[in-house]
């Protein structure tokens, strides 16, 4: 029995299921098509993960006809490090791609010797490789956002339509997801009503307790939920195309996000709002109606996709084939946040099924440091205004506006899913704290965490961002924030 013949058996034997598969798909073809659908800025606010205010029938179909992973996590909480890790099956901290939008200026980043993007491996094996935005934008490639030097020829095009007859494909389709919330409201005003017919009512949404039930926040969250509804429509259109082409049942589909919602405590941070991701797999050999509750990281889909195609998983790859016969279940997952835009930070985390440990390397800085990207979102000026007016609750003030951060945070994520009760100072949890502290230390050493960015690289990336930014006010904000970062560094903050 070869590796591919073990695929379905592995799902049944290795998956801790909370729901047994209702039906079983046939054994996978020798060379299945593999399709990654990546939703930008979308977390787990989907009905299949508990959201009650919207419906997503097409994503629900994937769940019925496939396997849903309840504990899937990203290794980064912002686009470019997350996507750099995704496309290599490597921790972004191991390949030097952990600072957001780095390597774009004069200081380039090269992958470690031997490491290659996954599409190159598929291409050499005879697969057609593509990466496209949806809806398609002319003939250009879809979002890549890799922080290292790479050859665009690893993609044969932006759509699998260009493949030869009978040629299997490895494709990525990028959905703009939460990024459809334009700051000026244009998408919500002009596009959403036509696409969705009805819009989510702001007063109906449920917010995490650390956000105020303020009209600006409610409106933003309602728009976010409608962005997910649009994603669902697009998933339906993709499924219909695969059915029309007669290849749906020859294609393994993974639906996931690249980071969570872009909100004050979401994207860019290491709370579950930012790093827990939807992860749904449908295709030949995949159990129907199944739910896996073990921990996986998004870099695992690189190794698993290669195995689906019958290709060897490179020894350098840190992701694991979670359908392999000898798959060692993860007992912990790891994540990192580093510089985002002009704002310097360094945070690391390790999460088990019950606990999450977070280490803040700059505890003397506030959580919400000045950041041009975040501060241009409508919710951030409003949040700072409510803070100045004394209109936030005590919890919101403590979580969002404490002038400093604890060096260590520990949360019981089962009892406290919003991560608002820090147990790091509780003597009852000292053993857990020490265990996870050591576990994170070991991971950083074993995976060769590259650490802080050099001053030269920081200046080069800032120069690139300034050149790429048209608005003078935003340039001035980035320069002001950058000066503050350097001043804090001199002060040892």
* Range 4-332 classified under CATH 3.40.720.10: yes
Task: Name the phi and psi angles at 463, rounded to 5.
Answer: -60, -40
Q: Which sign does the torsion angle of CA 139, 99, 307, 330 carry? A: negative
Taking the alpha carbons at both ends of the chain, their separation in whole angstroms is 58
Picking from 41, 148, 169, 141, the residue whose alpha carbon sits closest to that of residue 96 is: 148
Structure token pair of residue 69: 């992973």
Burial class (CB in 10 A: 0-12, 13-18, 19+), 474: middle
**H, E, C per residue of 62-80:** HHHCEEEEEEEECCECCHH
Sequence ranges of the chain with CATH classification 3.40.720.10: 4-332
> From first to last of its 493 residues, what are the pLDDT tens digits of the chain?
334 434 433 333 333 333 333 333 444 446 999 999 999 999 999 999 999 999 999 999 999 999 999 999 999 999 999 999 999 999 999 999 999 999 999 999 999 999 999 999 999 999 999 999 998 877 899 999 999 999 999 999 999 999 999 999 999 999 999 999 876 778 878 888 899 999 999 999 999 999 999 999 999 999 999 999 999 999 999 999 999 999 999 999 999 999 999 999 999 999 999 999 999 999 999 999 999 999 999 999 999 999 999 999 999 999 999 998 889 999 999 999 999 999 999 999 999 999 999 999 999 999 999 999 999 999 999 999 999 999 999 999 999 999 999 999 999 999 999 999 999 999 999 999 999 999 999 999 999 999 999 999 999 999 999 999 999 999 999 999 999 999 999 999 9
Reduced to 3 states (helix: H, G, I; strand: E, B; else coil), residue 198 is coil
Other residues' Cβ atoms within 10 Å of the Cβ of residue 183:
9
CA angle 235, 16, 438 (to 5 degrees): 100
Q: Which long-range contacts (CB under 8 A, 24 or more apart) does 344-349 make?
A: 344/452, 344/453, 344/458, 344/485, 344/489, 345/268, 345/369, 346/451, 346/452, 347/269, 347/270, 348/270, 348/440, 348/444, 348/449, 349/270, 349/275, 349/440
Whether cis (ω within 30° of 0) applies to the bond prior to 396 is no
The structure's pTM equals 0.93
Helix locations, 25-126, DSSP H: 57-64, 79-88, 118-124
């Amino acid at each position: 029995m070869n590796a591919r013949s073990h695929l379905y058996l592995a799902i049944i034997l290795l998956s801790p299921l909370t729901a047994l598969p209702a039906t079983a798909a046939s054994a996978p073809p020798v060379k299945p098509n593999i399709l990654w659908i990546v939703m930008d800025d979308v977390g787990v606010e989907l009905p299949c993960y508990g959201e009650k205010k919207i419906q997503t029938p097409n994503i629900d179909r994937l769940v019925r006809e496939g396997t849903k992973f309840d504990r899937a996590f990203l290794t980064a909480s912002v686009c470019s490090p997350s996507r750099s890790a995704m496309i290599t099956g490597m921790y972004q901290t191991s390949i030097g791609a952990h600072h957001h939008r780095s390597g774009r200026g004069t200081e380039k980043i090269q992958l470690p010797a031997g490491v290659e993007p996954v599409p190159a491996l598929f291409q050499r094996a005879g697969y057609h490789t593509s990466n496209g935005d949806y809806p398609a934008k002319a003939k250009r490639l879809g979002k890549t956002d890799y922080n290292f030097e790479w050859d665009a020829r690893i993609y044969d095009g932006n759509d699998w339509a260009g493949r030869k007859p009978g040629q299997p494909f490895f494709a990525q389709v990028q959905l703009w997801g939460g990024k459809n919330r334009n700051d000026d409201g244009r998408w919500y005003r002009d596009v959403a009503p036509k696409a969705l017919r009805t819009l989510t009512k702001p007063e109906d949404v449920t917010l995490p307790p650390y956000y105020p039930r303020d009209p600006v926040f409610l409106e933003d969250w309602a728009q976010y939920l409608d962005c997910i509804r649009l994603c669902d429509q697009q998933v339906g259109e993709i499924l219909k195309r695969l059915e029309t082409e007669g290849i749906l049942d020859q294609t393994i589909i993974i639906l996931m996000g690249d980071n969570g919602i872009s909100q004050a405590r979401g994207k860019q941070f290491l709370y579950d709002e930012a790093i827990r991701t939807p992860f749904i797999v449908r295709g030949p050999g995949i159990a129907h109606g199944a739910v896996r509750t073990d921990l996986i990281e998004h870099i695992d889909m690189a190794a698993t996709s290669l195995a689906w195609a019958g290709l060897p998983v490179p020894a350098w790859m840190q992701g694991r084939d979670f359908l392999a016969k000898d798959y060692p279940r993860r007992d912990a997952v790891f994540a990192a946040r580093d510089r985002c835009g002009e704002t310097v930070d360094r945070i690391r985390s390790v999460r088990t099924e019950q606990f999450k440990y977070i280490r803040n390397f700059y505890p003397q800085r506030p959580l919400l440091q000045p950041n041009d990207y975040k501060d241009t979102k409508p919710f951030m000026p409003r949040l700072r205004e409510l803070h100045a007016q004394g209109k936030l609750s005590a919890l919101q003030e403590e979580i969002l506006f404490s002038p400093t951060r604890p060096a260590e945070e520990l949360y019981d994520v089962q009892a406290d899913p919003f991560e608002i009760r820090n147990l790091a100072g509780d003597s009852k949890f000292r053993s857990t704290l020490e265990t996870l502290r050591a576990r994170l230390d070991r991971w950083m050493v074993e995976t060769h965490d590259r650490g802080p960015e050099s001053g030269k690289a920081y200046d080069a990336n800032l120069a690139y961002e300034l050149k790429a930014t048209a608005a003078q006010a935003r340039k001035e904000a980035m320069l002001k924030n950058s000066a503050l970062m350097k001043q804090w560094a001199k002060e040892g903050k």
